[in-house]
Amino acid sequence: MAVTTVEQVVVGFGALGLDARLVEALKALGYEEPTPIQREAIPPLLEGRDLIGQAATGTGKTAAFALPMLQRVAEQGEERQGPSLLVLVPTRELAMQVAEAMHRYGRSLGTSVLPVYGGQAYGPQLRRLERGVDVVVATPGRALDHIRRGSLRLESIAAVVLDEADEMLDMGFAEDIEAILSETPDTRQTLLFSATLPPRIAAIARRHLTDPTKIKIGGERLPAGSAPRVRQTAYIVPRAHKLAALGRVLDIEAPGSAIVFCRRRTEVDELAETLSGRGYGAEALHGGMTQEQRSRVMKRFRAGGVDLLIATDVAARGLDIEHLSHVFNYDVPCEPESYVHRIGRVGRAGREGVAITLAEPREHRQLLAIERATRQKIEISRLPTIADLRARKLEITRAAIREAILAGDLDHFRVVVESLSDEFDVMQVALAAVKLAHRADGPDDTEPEEIPEVAPRGERERESERPPRGGRPARAYQDDDGPPRRRPKGGPRGGMTRLFINAGREAGVRPQDLVGAITGEAGIAGQDVGAIEIADRFSLVDVTDEVANDVIHAMRSAKLKGRKIKVRREGER
Ligand code: AMP
């Protein structure tokens, strides 16, 4: 296993020339190593060079400019009257996000940061500007208002960052940007970041930047075939709802064994704790743990005592793990290579696997860069709905109760049912018992959180309108006409195909093993799997008609609980 010590992490950022206080701040935030754009941009920026960075959100570009520029602001000390650094961004959300990141990084240097954007009252902004700040992160329109009122003075500006320049131009801020730049000293350092570099951006760069360092991230194509054959899906989720979204996807996919990748250690710890609290068998793995701690976690994971490994890229590097059905990217990886690395863990030895990425709306460009680099498609799907989730949970409860009935040994509960049946109908008694079993069985019995549907920004908008593959949620059978039968009466529901699998209870097969194996091997969505029956020697699983052939084909070479299995349509030989 690759070992990364805390010291190596510190050296990673420290070697770029960053102040020890900033390096400490990054360690506390859980960053393990610089991203490519940080590695390339930080040294020339610390030297005072101008820079053009072609990079999308999700590459770590904010820290790439924020860290060196905060350091330069701090080095200039108290001499300046007014802000030293102006960061222009296209939207209010980005102004808040960038200001918050700069505040977190710069706290250790005592740097003050103020976001300034339209739609907010002038009063508080004026008071803060009056008191004095080191860094202003502003949308161009509001910045210009303050400049015209005299409340934002730019004589002391030592550096300007134009962040997401292409979006600022698309939003019609070209003239405002020109006007703002003309108010700043010619001696300033100028940085321009943009996901694309159309001629209009190149013209701005020619006019306002001097001999800039040029950095391009994510443009290169990886060698053909370097990305494995894996079903790749992304869900676009607002940042605030990512945890709920992950929980929902985990419940629907029911992975047998999976890795969830995060960017930061702190995120790994939080996620492992939250998911464990919700009943998942989750453990953390990151570079801040000792070698022994990591070995212990890996041993448990390999032995099947842990279902979900929550890991940073650094900690999971070099790990060889068999039989993973799913890889989840809690964030979009900062470069296509790390994406390929991550998803390669489920594409082993000709097996198909599932890679699921949660992307924030702004990160869609990074997804496109990954698609271009790998020449593979990442399908953007709608998150499973609360109804999908409820249906799946009911199905798991139904399958568990059925198992209990078939296992027998229920006689000592008879007294409970009999005494209650004097007072209530047996159906009512059964319903109440199911309710209790359902609550106890689910990984989480809280009301699922509403997650607003959002479209990815720009190009992917149309694609996000598509319903998920199969277009149909997983369903539970509703046997509402009598006591449970050994098998559901009649065939599967319309649009579903029932498959026979020659392994069942005696082989230790559980419902989650079947869902995990089918989605993992066939590369289909959890929503495409419906009702499940497990008998002693075989299992029956309903899948949507559209994917039935894929499942039969993929499962031919698959193993379930270590055994080779046979899968066919029920009734066929
Ligand atoms: P950005 O591309 O600037 O929008 O950054 C995307 C996300 O990556 C932010 O949530 C950062 O906190 C995170 N991030 C930036 N640099 C690193 C790093 N070196 N290690 C881990 N996470 C990072």
Q: What is the pLDDT of residues 430-473, one digit of tens each?
A: 999 999 888 765 555 456 677 887 766 643 333 222 333 333 33
Could you give the number of structural domains in the chain?
4
Mean pLDDT of 247-259: 88
Residue 202 forms part of a structural domain: yes
Long-range contacts: 273-281, Cβ < 8 Å, 24+? 274/243, 275/246, 275/247, 275/250, 275/308, 275/310, 278/247, 278/443, 278/444, 279/442, 279/443, 279/444, 280/250, 280/307, 280/308, 280/443, 281/305, 281/306, 281/307, 281/308
Residues recorded for the chain: 573
Residue 30 alpha carbon to ligand 1 centre in Å: 10
| Residues in Cβ contact with 400 at an 8 Å cutoff, skipping those fewer than 6 apart | 437, 441, 511
Q: 527 CB under 6 A from ligand 1?
A: no
Residue 572 identity (one-letter amino acid): E
Predicted local confidence at residue 267, as pLDDT: 95
| Domain match, 408 and 376 both | no
**pLDDT computed for residue 290 by the predictor:** 93
Give the residue, out of 33, 102, 163, 264, with the most ligand 1 atoms within 8 A of its beta carbon, to mutate for a pocket test.
264
Q: Do 439 and 480 fall into the same domain? A: no
Q: Is the per-residue pLDDT at 540 higher than 60? A: yes
Tell me: do 553 and 504 sit in the same domain: yes
- Whole-angstrom distance, CA of residue 480 vs CA of residue 452: 33
Q: 327 in helix, strand or coil?
A: strand
**Domain co-membership, 242 together with 360:** yes
Instruction: Find the CATH number of the domain harbouring 370.
Output: 3.40.50.300
Does the pLDDT at position 510 exceed 60?
yes
- As a whole number of angstroms, the distance between CA 50 and CA 215 comes to 11
- 244 pLDDT exceeds 70? yes
The reply to whether ligand 1 has any atom less than 6 angstroms from the CB of 256 is no
Both 299 and 342 in a single domain? yes
pLDDT-derived band at 205, boundaries 50, 70, 90: very high
pTM over 0.85: no
- Looking at the fold, whether 51 and 163 belong to one and the same domain comes out as yes
Alpha-carbon distance of 51 to 559, in angstroms, equals: 53
Cα 72 to ligand 1 centre (Å): 20
Which CATH number characterizes residue 530's domain? 3.30.70.330
Query: pLDDT at position 342, please?
Result: 92
- CB atoms near residue 131 (< 10 Å): 9
Residue nearest to atom 18 of ligand 1 (CA): 31
Confidence of residue 349 (pLDDT cuts 50, 70, 90): low
| Among protein residues, the one whose CA lies closest to atom 9 of ligand 1 | 60
The reply to whether 151 falls in a domain is yes
Report the alpha-carbon distance of residue 55 to residue 64 in Å, rounded: 11
Ligand 1 atom 19: residue of nearest CA: 34
Q: From 216, 249, 278, give the residue that closes a domain.
A: 216
Same domain membership, residue 484 and residue 438: no
Closest-lying ligand 1 atom to the alpha carbon of residue 97: 4
Ligand 1 geometric centre to CA of 167 (Å): 20
For atom 6 of ligand 1, the residue with the nearest CA is 58
372 pLDDT higher than 50? yes
What would the two tokens of residue 228 be?
């494995």
Sign of CA dihedral 7, 11, 13, 18: positive
Same domain, 91 and 147: yes
DSSP 42: H
Q: Which of 216, 244, 261 is the last residue of a domain?
A: 216
- Mark out the alpha helices in 19-164 (DSSP H runs): 20-29, 36-46, 61-76, 92-106, 122-131, 140-149
What pLDDT is attached to residue 441? Answer: 58
Ligand 1 neighbour 58 (Cβ under 6 A): yes
Element (H, E) at 508: none
DSSP per-residue letters across 530-566: EEEEE-SS-EEEEEEHHHHHHHHHHHTT-EETTEE--
148 and 275 co-located in one domain:
no
Would the CB of 381 count as within 6 Å of ligand 1? no
> Closest Cα partner for 456 from 320, 561, 359, 371?
359
Distance 27 CA to ligand 1 centre (A): 13
More confident residue, 465 or 422: 422
Whether 24 is in a domain gets the answer no
- Tell me: do 181 and 309 sit in the same domain: no
Kindly state whether residue 2 falls inside one of the protein's structural domains: no
Higher per-residue pLDDT: 256 or 485: 256
| Owning domain of residue 48 | 35-216
- 422 and 478 inside one domain: no
Percent of the chain with pLDDT over 70: 88
* 49 shares a domain with 189: yes
Cα separation, 259 vs 286, whole angstroms: 12
**CA–centroid distance, residue 121 to ligand 1 (Å):** 30
Tell me if 487 is assigned to some domain: yes
Answer yes or no: is 121 within a domain. yes
The answer to whether 399 touches 437, Cβ cutoff 8 Å, is no
Which residue among 403, 422, 446 closes a domain?
446
Q: What is the mean pLDDT of residues 29-36?
A: 94
pLDDT in tens, 96-110: 999 999 999 999 999
Q: Tell me whether residue 389 is in a domain.
A: no
Q: Is 53 in the pocket of ligand 1 (CB under 6 A)?
A: no
Q: Is the pLDDT of residue 539 over 50?
A: yes
Residue 96 domain flag: yes
